[in-house]
Amino acid sequence: MHGSPVVLDLDGVIVKSNFVKHDAMLSLFDGYPEKHHQISSYIMANGGVRRDLKLRHILKNIVDVPLAEDTLSSYLSKYARGLENLLAGAPMVEGVETFLADRDQSFCFYVSSSAPEAEVQDQLSRRGLSDRFQAVFGADTEKEIALRRVSARHPDKVTVFFGDSVGDLNAARQAGVAFVAVINERDNFAGLPVIKLSDFTSMPTVLTAMSAAQSRTST
């Protein structure tokens, strides 16, 4: 593994799926129209947080639904069923497929996502991307831990994490890796000192962003 380690989040970085997931989760609470704005704001502000934690918070703190033993699992099942077909139709972020093709073999790619690993693997497989990644980390592996594991595989190089949420940024900081903020679907980094990238269509722009992020990490 001689290439530089690059870790990508899935939603909003590889696949344009943040708003698809937002709408699917919000629809679970159509019976609470007066709470829709609050729920929507919470979902958008907590990208990168595992879905079970988000749903638990919404149920407990926003719609005030008693959390019986099977309540959360029921909501999670409904959410997963609603997502299946919607995710299949979500487009990829512009240029990311070419970036992942890595014809010069400059990089070692990984995925770290807060979605269930089976879902992540399915989304990559549907798009013919499964063989592009050295490893895929899903919800069972916290992003900070995933990033530390990748860094340990490449001790002589600076790992770069492409993420689209403040949670991703925090994970990168905790793991001591470089971070590039992808703002393709939404800019979640207003006022934060981060390197931003809108898409992967220009390789010189991507490489410049990576270099700038690595420089910040090494100083």
| Residue with the larger pLDDT of the pair 103 and 30 | 30
Asked whether 161 and 178 are in contact (CB, 8 A), the reply is yes
What confidence tier does 218 reach under pLDDT thresholds 50, 70, 90?
A: low
- Taking residues 148-161, what's their average pLDDT? 96
Give the per-residue SS3 of the chain: CCCEEEEECCECCCECCHHHHHHHHHHCCCCCHHHHHHHHHHHHHCCCCCHHHHHHHHHHHHCCCCCCCCHHHHHHHHHHHHHHHHHHCCCECCCHHHHHHCCCCCEEEEEECCCCHHHHHHHHHHCCCHHHEEEEECCCCCHHHHHHHHHHHCCCCCCEEEECCHHHHHHHHHHCCEEEEECCCCCCCCCCCCEEECCCCCHHHHHHHHHHHHHHHHC
Instruction: Tell me if the pTM is above 0.75.
Output: yes
Q: State residue 197 phi and psi, 5-degree precision.
A: -140, 130
Would you tell me how many other CB atoms lie within 10 Å of the CB of residue 201? 13
Res 88: pLDDT: 84
- Supply the mean pLDDT for the chain: 93
- Pull the structure tokens for residue 126: 């549907």
Q: State residue 121 phi and psi, 5-degree precision.
A: -60, -40
pLDDT at 192 over 90: yes
pLDDT at 12 over 90: yes
Q: What does the pLDDT look like over 193-208, one tens digit per residue? A: 999 999 999 999 999 9
Res 67: pLDDT: 82
Res 104: pLDDT: 83
Range scoring the smallest mean pLDDT among 15-24, 78-87, 193-202:
78-87
pLDDT at 60 over 60: yes
